[in-house]
Amino acid sequence: MPFEDKTFKTFKTAFSVDNIIFGFDRDHLKVLLIKRKEEPFAGQWALPGDIVRPEEDLRDSAFRVLDQLTGVKDVHLEQVFTFGKVDRHPRGRVITVAYYSLINIADVTIRAASFAEKVAWKEVRSIESLAFDHLKIMKTCLAKLQRDVKFRPIGFELLPKYFTLTELQKLYEAVLETDLDKRNFRKKILKMEILHTTHQLQTNVAHRPAKLFAFDKDKYEEAKNNGVIFEL
């Protein structure tokens, strides 16, 4: 929620978007944070966001922030909640709409935008404080993500195109913050018949290479039309 446009240095009321950009790397769920350049909270970590410009739709504003930090435009974006506590910003009344997005970390090169001194991926579990009320916003979006991944196949957005069943299980364990039974997890996933077997194996691994799979969107739509419910 960095208000760097000179027009908004002082204001009575403002409307913004905040982006919670989730990624998955090395068995950990991560979130993209910025280190703020200016006051308030200069030098502190915060969620990326900005004032909604007069000519912008809400989603366009959220996608603009994503593009500035990652260069990615076509990603899963989910509106979560509106935060409007009177004193949530020290310079005036700010109402913000929070979105979460899911991206494959390997597909993007992050860069600091004009409103950020630095940008970095941080493990969700390691984050104890953020500027403004951003910790509350992040936790709210995480709770929404944890509900969503159980009933919709959005978790695949966080993985590379080809993945092993072990990698898929580790992703869900990281998001849900719990251990899953290997046998039951694989049985549920394979029973849905929404994965495409690539007939390829992992490469450059010290252990026995595992089979690679891919999420098949067409198979998922067909299964859904036939009454199959995605549920983990």
Q: Is pLDDT larger for residue 11 or for residue 181?
A: 181
> What structural domains does the chain harbor?
6-149 (3.90.79.10), 159-225 (1.10.10.10)
Give SS3 for 34.
strand
Question: Exposed/middle/buried for 8, CB within 10 Å: 0-12, 13-18, 19+?
Answer: middle
Task: Give residue 206's pLDDT.
Answer: 79
Residue 33 has pLDDT above 60, yes or no: yes
User: pLDDT-based confidence at 74, cuts 50/70/90?
Assistant: confident
8-30 mean pLDDT: 87
Q: From 106, 212, 230, select the one nearest 162 (Cα to Cα).
A: 212
CB atoms within 10 A of CB 205: 10
Q: From 78, 116, 120, 85, select the one nearest 100 (Cα to Cα).
A: 78
The CA-atom distances, in angstroms, between 26 and each of 39, 105, 124 are 34, 10, 13
pLDDT tens, 105-150?
999 999 988 778 899 999 999 999 999 999 999 999 999 999 999 9
Q: From 212, 104, 194, 204, select the one nearest 152 (Cα to Cα).
A: 194
User: pLDDT-based confidence at 218, cuts 50/70/90?
Assistant: very high
Residue 6 has pLDDT above 70, yes or no: no
| Amino acid identity for residue 189 in this structure | I
